Amino acid sequence: MSVSKSGYYDWHKRPANVISLETLKLYRLVRQLFKQSRGSLGNREMVKKLRKEGYQVGRYLVRKIMHRLRLKATQRRAYKVTTQRKHSDAVADNLLNMNFNPVSANQVWAGDVTYLKTGEGWMYLAVVMDLYSRRIVGWHIDKRPLCQDCCHP
């Protein structure tokens, strides 16, 4: 364990830290509030919540408690709308009628567009697949949702 004998025995002889009942209640409340926030409460917001509960605590004490309890806040990202449909646009007819197993190649192609986070930022990937062979017929990746060569963004 990479600990010297003298270091181990020094630790072993040390008196145990006794946690008061009030401190234990505070720890439990911090855990409970953190869980209720689904892991998003940082030390500043935690101080506000604890003060509402009647505890006189400062930011640095709460930060130390959260570190001791291994509670690290993670911020949720806001939902970003990537598509906006115009309700006046016509909807294509359902020619497949849920029949995704054609009898020969190049009868039915399906396509999809998705976005990926890369080192260069968000990139949009468009893929076209032949449903008979399940092979990719074509694809295009771009920084814009639709390719400029064939479509209008």
pLDDT at 148: 45
pLDDT 10s digit of each residue in the chain, 153 long? 788 999 889 988 988 888 889 999 999 999 999 999 989 899 999 999 999 999 999 999 999 999 999 999 988 777 777 667 778 878 888 888 888 888 999 999 999 989 899 888 889 999 999 999 999 999 999 888 764 445 544
| Structural domain contains residue 37 | yes
Check if the beta carbon of residue 71 is closer than 8 Å to that of residue 34. Answer: yes
CA 147 vs. chain centroid, Å, equals 28
Please report whether residue 27 resides in a domain. yes
Rounded to 5°, the CA angle 80-82-87 comes to 120
In a domain, 90, yes or no: no
Residue 91 domain flag: no
Identify the pLDDT of residue 153: 47
pLDDT of residue 60: 95
**3-class SS of residue 127:** strand
**Structure tokens, 68:** 């001791």
CA 151 distance to own-chain centroid: 32
Domain-located, residue 152: yes
Q: Residues 6 or more apart from 137 whose CB is under 8 A from it? A: 109, 128, 129, 130
Domain count within the chain:
2
Does residue 64 share a domain with residue 111? no
Residues 151, 95: Cα–Cα separation, whole Å: 22
Query: Is residue 97 in some structural domain?
Result: no
pLDDT value at residue 152: 47
Query: Residue 36 carries which side chain, given as an amino acid letter?
Result: Q
133 is in which domain, residue-wise? 104-153
Residue 33 CB burial class (10 angstroms; 0-12, 13-18, ≥19): middle
Beta bridge partners of 124: 115, 142
CA distances from 111 to 3, 11, 29, 54, 107 (A): 60, 64, 51, 58, 14
